[in-house]
Structures are given as structure tokens and as C-alpha cells.
């Protein structure tokens, strides 16, 4: 195989490995359950799935800007003002999850899950996510896990 072709194939593999991912509902449910979110701090798996849908559309690469200069990152839209450090912003962060925000935008959501666990241990719990409060709180959420064979 020609050296140029080998280099291109290797580069293509690297790019594929670092891309973001858009989960489907049941696929995400299985990943979250496997990583201990089902009933974590008394929060149902359906609550997590509903919140992730309304925050990011299950897209690990989702990023939203806020008027205060912070950004929300990843599948759970974790905020750079409190939970992670955004190297591209001049603003300071509490960085309570002790991580770089860019790590929340890849297809490996293990770090996102660990930070979400940290977030819900605070008094606001799931109330830290506005979309959860508007769309999921006090709702029948069974449809979010229906048919997922958990």
C-alpha cells in the first residue's frame, strides 16, 4: 500500500474515532443504565432521557451560548460557568466537575455522566436543568423508556 494511502486511512480512522454522536432514545437509556444513572439519587432513568432530549436532542456535540458568556456543553448541556473549564472563554468557572468543557462534546459520555452525577448531588438536583423543569418535571415519563428492553 502506498504511504500516502496508508496515512489517509490512518487519519480517517482518527477522525471517525473523535466525532460526536447522536444517540437514539433506547441506546442512550442502555448507556445511562450501564453507567449507574437509573435511580441515582432517586432520579428515574426516564427523567435522564427526557432531560437529555430537551437539552441536546441526544447530541453529544451540542453547545449553546448564554448571554452571560457561558456555554452549555454535550448531551446534558453542562454549563461552563459552574461545572467545567472552557479554555476558549475569558470568564472564570467554578469547575466543580474538575474537567475541560471540550471533553463533554465527544462520543464518550462517561465524563458527562460523572459530571451529571455531581450536579444532581447539589440541592437543585435535576432542577439545575431548565429544560427538565419545563418538559419533564411532574410528567408521566414512561414513554421515554418504553420498548427499550432494559
Q: How many CB atoms lie within 10 A of CB 33?
A: 17
Strand order of the β-sheet with 78-79 is 63-65, 71-73, 78-79
Q: Which CATH class is domain 21-144?
A: mainly alpha
Q: Which residue has the higher pLDDT, 10 or 52?
A: 52
Q: What is the predicted pLDDT for the residue at 1?
A: 53
Strand ranges in the chain using DSSP code E only, listed in sequence order: 63-65, 71-73, 78-79
Q: Are 106 and 18 in contact (CB under 8 A)?
A: yes
The pTM for the full model equals 0.85
**Tens digits of residue pLDDT in 67-125:** 988 999 999 999 999 999 998 876 678 999 999 999 999 999 999 999 999 999 999 99
| Residues forming the active site | 55, 72
Determine the longest span between alpha carbons in the chain, in angstroms. 61
Report residue 70: phi and psi, to 5°: -90, 170
Domain boundaries, the chain: 21-144
Amino acid at each position: 500500500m502506498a504511504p500516502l494511502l496508508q496515512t489517509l486511512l490512518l487519519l480517517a480512522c482518527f477522525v471517525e474515532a473523535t466525532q460526536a454522536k447522536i444517540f437514539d432514545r433506547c441506546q442512550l437509556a442502555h448507556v445511562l443504565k450501564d453507567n449507574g444513572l437509573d435511580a441515582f439519587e432517586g432520579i428515574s432513568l426516564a427523567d435522564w432521557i427526557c432531560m437529555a432530549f430537551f437539552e441536546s436532542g441526544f447530541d453529544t456535540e451540542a453547545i449553546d451560548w448564554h448571554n452571560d458568556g457561558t456555554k452549555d456543553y454535550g448531551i446534558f448541556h453542562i454549563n461552563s460557568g459552574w461545572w467545567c473549564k472552557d479554555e476558549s472563554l475569558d470568564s472564570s468557572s467554578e469547575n466543580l466537575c474538575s474537567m475541560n468543557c471540550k471533553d463533554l462534546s465527544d462520543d464518550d459520555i462517561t465524563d458527562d455522566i460523572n459530571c451529571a452525577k455531581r450536579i444532581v448531588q447539589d440541592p437543585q438536583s435535576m432542577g439545575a436543568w431548565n429544560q427538565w423543569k419545563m418538559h419533564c418535571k411532574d410528567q408521566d415519563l414512561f414513554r421515554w423508556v418504553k420498548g427499550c428492553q432494559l
